[in-house]
Amino acid sequence: MGCYRRIDRALEHALHLPLGTGSRYVVISDCHRGEGTTNDNFLKNAYLYEAAMEHYIKRGFFYLELGDGEELWENRCMDRIVHYHETVYEMFACLQSRKALCRIYGNHNMELRKILPEAIILDNCEGGRDICMIHGHQADFFNSVCWRLSRALVRYVWKPLERSGVNDPTSAARNYKKAVRYE
């Protein structure tokens, strides 16, 4: 199945939410919350994230997380991630109680695909264009179809390299050609 078919399939089963003039959505992606170890990339921004979340919760925003909220390629235990980042999950519970939370899964938390949707569509209630949101791993063969192999490589090869100080050479954020290709 090609990337267009994977994207179409995700959108066919998307969660639909209303979008209008008064809509207040905050969209965040790729937090990669880990277990609080040196490999937990979320730790660098945890306080900033929590402060921003307090701001959005107080002002009645609807929170959309577009995949990879948890880093389940490097870590095996969701419970340890939730325990270490307890404040974040308490905020999620607050948002959930107000029906103001939607999270989709990405390649690094693919294990949650049975409980989280793969896509969100904001249906424009005022006649404009709808907004379709996916994590984006669907466009990459190794991150969608071969995700188990990719997870194993990250878990057993990349994680020890990262722990020893090696920077990620595959990041689209640091590679203009890769970023353009993914777009």
pLDDT above 80: residue 170: no
CB 3 within 8 A of CB 141: yes
pLDDT at site 179: 59
pLDDT at 174: 61
26-64 pLDDT, tens per residue? Answer: 999 999 999 999 889 999 999 999 999 999 999 999 999
Cβ neighbour number for residue 10 with a 10 Å cutoff: 21
Mean predicted confidence (pLDDT) in 75-79: 94
Q: Is the pLDDT of residue 105 over 60?
A: yes
**Percentage, residues of the chain above pLDDT 70:** 91
DSSP at 96: H
Report the alpha-carbon distance of residue 43 to residue 145 in Å, rounded: 29
Confidence of residue 23 (pLDDT cuts 50, 70, 90): very high
182 pLDDT more than 60 = no
Per DSSP, 154 falls in state I
Flag whether pLDDT at 132 surpasses 70.
yes
pLDDT value, residue 160: 85
CB 104 within 8 A of CB 65: yes
Phi, psi of 94 (to 5 degrees): -60, -50
What is residue 158's predicted lDDT score, i.e. its pLDDT? 87
Distance CA 12, CA 143 (A): 20
Of 31, 27, 59, 56, the closest CA to residue 43 belongs to 31
pLDDT at 86: 97
> Rounded mean pLDDT of 138-151?
92
pLDDT band at 171 (very low <50, low <70, confident <90, very high): low
If pLDDT is split at 50, 70 and 90, which confidence band does 177 have?
A: low
**pLDDT value for 159:** 86
Whether 169 shows a pLDDT value over 70: the answer reads no
Tell me which of 4-13, 59-68, 124-133, 160-169 is least confident: 160-169
Tell me if 132 sits within 8 A of 10, measured CB to CB: no
